[in-house]
Chain A
Amino acid sequence: MSCESVREKLTAYLDGELEGERGSAVRGHLRGCDACRQIAADEAALRDGLRSLPPLDPPASLWAGVQSRLAAEEVKDAERPAWGRALTWLRPRALHIGFATVALGAAIVLLVMKLQRDDEQQVAVKPPIQVPVPEIASNNPEPPRAGQCNTTPSDDKDVSAAIAAEPAAITACYAQTVSELIEVAKEARGEWPADRQRDFDIELEALQEKVVRATDERPRQQAYRKMIRYLQRAVVRDDVALANLGGQQ
């Protein structure tokens, strides 16, 4: 091993980073080479000298200086315009925002491509055979009545009118359901004892009164829903539920 090669490895050797044969080779060379041994001794002394340098205590004024600069920075922050503060907030997050933007862009591109492909597939499919449907002539559609649950507006109707008519149509559906349930409940009522029949009549009358008293669609629908729940329980003769519901009314 040459002197040059050994001197290059001296730092690592003295720091204990050369193991095995490489360490032995350097050690062997140092035993026989005065010049390299002197350099190794110098470097070891230097390393020991550096390690034994005393720690330096900061002056007592350092903490006060830090606090003073922090306060000055905060005042400066407060005086900066909002966009400047926003930039400061954004700067360390620029990488994340960039990634998020790229990911969002890629997602939008993929979505658009998928939609286009779906459209092409739909075009490729043969159009369905048109079955002639008998036309129901109705130039002046009547407002929905009780029992008239078909609320789907046809294409040639004014959509806003259909939307406006929708709450009333829903109420009509509830009314239809209630009338059907009352029919069923009346059949079941014949088999009940007299006191239960009396309770049922009183409760039903109270619920019907709430429906009548309701001044708007929403409370009317709520009253209908209560009545529907009550009647459903009455029909299945759920005594406990009926008693509880009746107690709540």
Chain B
Amino acid sequence: MEMLYHQFKRRVFGMAHRIVGANDAEEVAQEVFVRVFRGLANFRGDSALSTWIYRLTVNAALSHLARRGRRQEVSDENIPEQAATPEPERDPGLASRIEAAMNQLPAGYRAILVLHDVEGLSHEECAAILDCRVGTCKSQLHKARARMRELLGSIMVLAGDRR
């Protein structure tokens, strides 16, 4: 069990962190691992073990958000202050601004971004985890990225200029 925990702890915690925010990530990750360990005996192997665990993670995170009844659940303290003028040469704050922008997305968009763009899972894996069709998954990703571009605005222009 402990081996399984160590194998998946980063991804489970990372997904939970990026979907529910820093304050509740540990609680959600705990819940996921408890479900994994208690449900492992009944795991039928219909999907890959990792897919099953990520599905539990996303479901637990989304359920957690629903329970707390917040759509934009991340508190202000988790959004780092944005620099008035980003440094064009080396943009050390880009990652934190991306995280902050993600926190402003609806939970569904956040989930697909985390799965596909952050964790690097394929559309097929994302569709299996989110229990939707691959086409729906692609469409959601497109909308999520568009929303992110709107939120980040000029930061992306600067990043684009550096390229």
CA distance A216 to B114 in the complex (A): 83
Stretch at the interface among B53-61, B74-82, B155-163: B155-163
| Given the contacts A42-B159, A69-B30, A47 and B145 also touching, CB distance less than 8 Å | yes
Chain B residues in 8 Å Cβ range of A8: 142
Q: Which residue of A lies closest to B13 (CB)?
A: A58
What 1/0 flags go to B29-49 for Cβ under 8 Å of A? 111011001100010000000
Chain B residues in 8 Å Cβ range of A208: none
Q: Is A83 an interface residue, CB under 8 A from the partner?
A: no
Q: Is B127 an interface residue, CB under 8 A from the partner?
A: no
The interface of chain B, by Cβ under 8 A from chain A, is 2, 5, 9-14, 17-18, 25-26, 29-31, 33-34, 37-38, 42, 94-95, 98-99, 113, 117-118, 120, 138, 141-142, 145, 148-149, 152, 156-157, 159-160, 162-163
Q: Which residue of A lies closest to B30 (CB)?
A: A65
Cβ B149 vs Cβ A42 within 8 A: yes
- For A, the interface residue count at a CB cutoff of 8 angstroms equals 34
Q: Is A43 an interface residue, CB under 8 A from the partner?
A: yes
CA distance A123 to B163 in the complex (A): 93
Q: Show 17 residue pairs from A and B whose CB-CB distance is below 8 angstroms, ordered by the A residue.
A: A11-B141, A11-B142, A42-B160, A49-B95, A50-B113, A50-B117, A50-B118, A56-B10, A56-B14, A57-B10, A57-B13, A59-B26, A62-B9, A62-B30, A65-B26, A69-B34, A70-B34
For window 56-95 of A, CB contacts with B under 8 Å fall at 56-59, 61-63, 65-66, 69-70, 73, 92
CA distance A46 to B156 in the complex (A): 7
What 1/0 flags go to A31-64 for Cβ under 8 Å of B? 0000000110111111101111111111101110
